[in-house]
Amino acid sequence: MVIELEQGFRLFASYFALGIEAAAILTVAIGAIEAFTNSLRNLLPRSAASMSGRAIWVRFATWILLSLEFTLGADIIRTAIAPSWDEIGKLAAIAAIRTALNYFLGRDVEQAKKLEQEAAT
């Protein structure tokens, strides 16, 4: 009975994590499409809709940050039910790498926003 319940939770967690990973992929795809279309707009003569290259990068980086959070959440869900030491070690390594990426990318985004605000004043 307990084993069947654990297997049911694992199956549910696996499907839920898969859905979150799909959301991460969708998030990056939306950000990439937005960055691509804004880059194309910059090739046209300047208009009110055009953005600077830095503004395009900041928007895309924000989408990537959101995606990193989704993927980290999916990894945590996958290992939440009766993890082995091997799974815990892999999660720790993945979490450390993604957290570092998230930190540095977030810091770069904040610096870029500050530069834009300073340039606007």
Q: Domain residues of the chain, as ranges? A: 2-120
Q: Which of 101, 79, 106, 84 is nearest to 17 (CA)?
A: 79
Question: Measured between alpha carbons, how far is 97 from 41 in angstroms, rounded to an integer?
Answer: 34
Report the share of the chain in percent with pLDDT over 70: 95
pLDDT exceeds 80 at position 114: yes
Extract the tokens encoding 55: 């503004």
pLDDT at 41: 86
pLDDT at 57: 87
Residue range 37-76, pLDDT digits in tens: 998 888 877 665 567 888 888 899 999 989 988 998 998 8
pTM for this one?
0.76
